[in-house]
Amino acid sequence: MSPRLLAAHHLRDYVIYVRFADGVEGEVDLADELFGAVFEPLKDLAIFKQFVVHPELHTLVWPNGP
């Protein structure tokens, strides 16, 4: 089972601060992970910054669906 994501916020560029229920926290740089058609819109920082932590799935989600 994956650790439960509790919180996340944008730091800079494609770097997100994440905090998990097991106490692990830190920065994640997603710049090199945005490949493929579904992630193409997220290369626009204005869209990338719109992520939220899904309240039931406990993962990052964006308005465009990834």
- Three-state DSSP at 64 gives coil
Identify whether 27 is part of a domain: yes
Q: How confident is the model at residue 65 (pLDDT cuts 50, 70, 90)?
A: low
Residues 6 or more apart in contact with residue 2 via CB below 8 angstroms? none
The predicted structure's pLDDT at residue 66: 45
How many independent structural domains does the chain possess? Answer: 1
Structure confidence by residue, pLDDT tens digits, 22-48: 999 999 999 999 999 989 999 999 999
- Give the range of the structural domain holding residue 20, as residue numbers without chain letter: 5-61
Residue 23 makes CB contacts below 8 A (sequence gap 6+) with none
- For residue 6, give the nearest of 14, 16, 22, 62 by alpha carbon: 22
Tell me, yes or no, whether 66 lies in a domain: no
